[in-house]
Amino acid sequence: MKNPMIKAVRAVSAALLLLATAACGDPSGEPSPEIEAIVANADGPVTIRLPDGDTLILSEPVIRFYRERGYLQAWTDYDEILDRGWQLLKVMENAGQDGLDPARYRFPVALSMVQQVEEDSLEEAQEPGHMAGVDLVLSEVFGRYANHLVGGVLEPSASGLDWEIPKDSVDTYALLVRLAGDEDPAAIIESLRPEAPEYHLLMDQLARYQRIVREGGWQEVSDDIPTEIGASAAGVVGLRNRLIREGHPDEARLAQHGAAAPNVYDDSLAAAVENFQVRHALQPDGRVGASTLEQLNVSAEERVQQIVLNLDQWRWLPQDLGDSYILVNVAGFELEYIKNDSVALAMNVVVGQEGWETPIFADTMEHLVVNPYWNVPASIKNEEIIPAIQRDPGYLERNNMEALSGNSVVPASSLNYGNLEAYSFRQRPGSRNALGAVKFLFPNDNNIYLHDTPADQYFSAHSRAFSHGCIRLEKPLDLARMLLDDVTATPSTQLDALLARDSEQWINVTEVLPVYILYFTAWAGRDGSMRFYPDIYERDRRLEEQVEQELRMDSTAPRRVARGGG
């Protein structure tokens, strides 16, 4: 398929004008009668027709911008585009850097309109109205571009996704005033992007995968791959080429190592496959089974699309996440503690299984709890604990648990087994406690927190969705020691003594520490790696459905999000 930007530019009719006017003369420094006619008496958004036959809605901030500058053009003169207008066009042409399609911002139409004047294809009397139209288009679509950079294009609620983190927004009127005051458009765009290094690293990876697509992508790998090291098969050559084409440094180097015998599945190629498996949350056995083959045969175009979707989800977040914060990537089963903009600690985590999905939200840490009680949530009480007690009256005692009526502990001998729903249940501190030695609280409506666990065997699994929604930590005591020193008045040197008391103790967090529970299936690590994770909660799939719905409804939307310009 041809690039939609080029296709749109060629499709513009040189005979159709944005504004019908026969006014002539030099309006430089004078109000534009064409703009005044459109916005002066508008009592809300105004729809104008573009030269390609499509329409564009001028928003109220844009109408206000022109009213308050006395209907003066901002980026054009009566017969030419000004330097600032060219800068705006260049910025929108480069929207693909962020995975946004320039066609979404009418770049092809605006460029074609300018070219009509540059090529003298208009009558002189038509030029003032034509360039006034260019001015209006540039103002409106630059504002949209800015808002998409700050709040994203896709709306999670439209896909039925939970999203409890307030989005930032742009004051479009103030933005246009800044632009008209000679601020550099490219600098403004850069200032609006998410500040997280991971976003910019993902932009770099997008450019790399877009380049792979332009160069032809990679070929499908056949299933003719041996399972034994040293065996030969015709499909091994295709596997080598596939890993080399993606260009991961370690994988490409290892795959090239056996080039002298390209059809032999040697140790180096097995190591390359194992590295690939780690990057895709697969069992790292160095063998090309069905799951590994499936991931190998995800096309480069699909990887671009996946990166574009994930870039948009970064834009749903606050632009500034803070200098220090905890970020959990649920899809990647990972946690990072960011301290002063650097990764101070990283670890594997266990997240919610099917039916108990970990929600996506953000909050602020308030307490560390050493030797915590586990207060059983109502859902687990009703679905698991009560049935277990009814089957086995000794269940509570054997699991170091107790029943409560209000705040009072009820002896097992006094329980009303016919009305167990009347009680709440908790597990006492100890080695068998489901929360382990420490939990980290950031009070939220979902009753989700980070915690230790005695079930540490799950951390070595390649897919780690086993919990009831809370997040189990691989290195809870390492995190506790760091946070005690960084965000509490209790030094980490006291942790061992606190643990030895075998009683619940609460420690207040005295510094602001945001916690972000997020979901990214495409992750550009600070170590330079590009990782793709399974869509365990099918959030990406639902966003893809929203994209397809948008394409059916909006003729100006990109033909595929994956193209993203560039």
Q: Is the pLDDT of residue 25 over 70?
A: no
Write down the catalytic residue from 130, 248, 280, 470. 470
Residue-level pLDDT at 550: 75
Give the separation between CA 143 and CA 62, rounded to whole angstroms.
8
pLDDT surpasses 50 at 561: no
Q: In this model, does residue 559 exceed pLDDT 60? A: no
Residues 78 and 28 sit within 8 Å (Cβ to Cβ): yes
Secondary structure of 202-235 as H, E, C letters: HHHHHHHHHHHHHCCCCCCCCCCCCCCCCCECCH
Helix (H) or strand (E) holding 46: strand 46-49
Strand 514-518 relative to strand 325-329, pairing: parallel
For residue 8, CA distances in Å to 111, 268, 412, 448 come to 10, 47, 75, 48
Query: What does the pLDDT read at residue 11?
Result: 27
Confidence of residue 554 (pLDDT cuts 50, 70, 90): low
* pLDDT band per the 50, 70, 90 thresholds, residue 18: very low
Q: Is the pLDDT of residue 169 over 50?
A: yes
Residue 451 among the catalytic residues: yes
Instruction: Give the active site residue among 130, 248, 280, 451.
Output: 451
Structure confidence at residue 553 (pLDDT): 66
Between CA 467 and CA 293 the distance in angstroms is 28
Task: Give how far the C-alpha of residue 444 lies from the chain's centroid of Cα atoms, to the nearest Å.
Answer: 22
pLDDT, tens digit (0-9, with 9 covering 90-100), for 495-552:
999 999 989 999 999 999 999 999 999 999 888 889 999 999 999 999 999 888 877 6
How large is the average pLDDT for residues 89-111?
Answer: 93
Phi-psi bin for 266: left (phi > 0), alpha (psi -120 to 50), beta? beta
Taking the C-alpha atoms of residue 561 and residue 551, their distance in angstroms, rounded to an integer, is 9
pLDDT tens digit sequence for 328-374: 999 999 999 999 999 999 999 999 998 889 999 999 999 999 999 99
Handedness of CA 259, 264, 268, 273 (dihedral sign): positive
Question: Which among 495, 524, 508, 478 is positioned nearest to 200, based on CA atoms?
Answer: 524
Told to judge if 24 belongs to the known catalytic residues of this protein, a careful annotator would answer no
pLDDT in tens, 170-223: 999 999 999 999 899 999 999 999 999 999 999 999 999 999 999 999 999 999
Pairing of strands 450-451, 465-467: unpaired
- Rounded Cα gap, residues 246 and 122, in angstroms: 48
Tell me the pLDDT band of 27, cut-offs 50, 70 and 90.
Answer: very low
What contacts 71, CB < 8 A, 6 or more positions away? 31, 32, 33, 35, 36, 39, 40
Identify whether the C-beta of residue 412 lies closer than 8 Å to the C-beta of residue 420: no
Share of the chain above pLDDT 70, in %: 92
Q: Calculate the alpha carbon distances from 223 to 42, 58, 272, 294 in Å.
A: 64, 54, 17, 10
User: What H or E segment, with its residue span, contains residue 142?
Assistant: helix 127-151
| pLDDT tens profile 374-390 | 999 888 999 999 999 99
122 pLDDT tier (thresholds 50, 70, 90): confident
Contact 558, 104 (CB under 8 A): yes
Q: Among 93-97, 126-130, 266-270, 562-566, whose mean pLDDT is lowest? A: 562-566
Quote the DSSP letter at residue 166: P
Task: Tabulate helix, strand, coil % of the chain (nearest 5).
Answer: 45, 15, 40
- Determine the pLDDT at residue 457: 78
* Mean pLDDT over each residue of the chain, to the nearest integer: 89
Tokens standing for residue 551:
């394409």
pLDDT given at position 482 = 98
Share of the chain above pLDDT 90, in %: 74
Answer positive or negative: Cα dihedral of 187, 190, 191, 195: negative
Distance in angstroms (rounded) separating the CA atoms of residues 250 and 260: 18
pLDDT digits (tens, 9 = 90+) for 306-316: 999 999 999 99
Q: What is the pLDDT of residues 411-470, one digit of tens each?
A: 988 999 989 999 999 999 988 899 999 999 999 998 899 999 987 877 787 789 889 889
pLDDT at 13: 27
Q: What was the pLDDT predicted at 277?
A: 96
Backbone angles phi, psi at 428, to 5 degrees: -70, 160
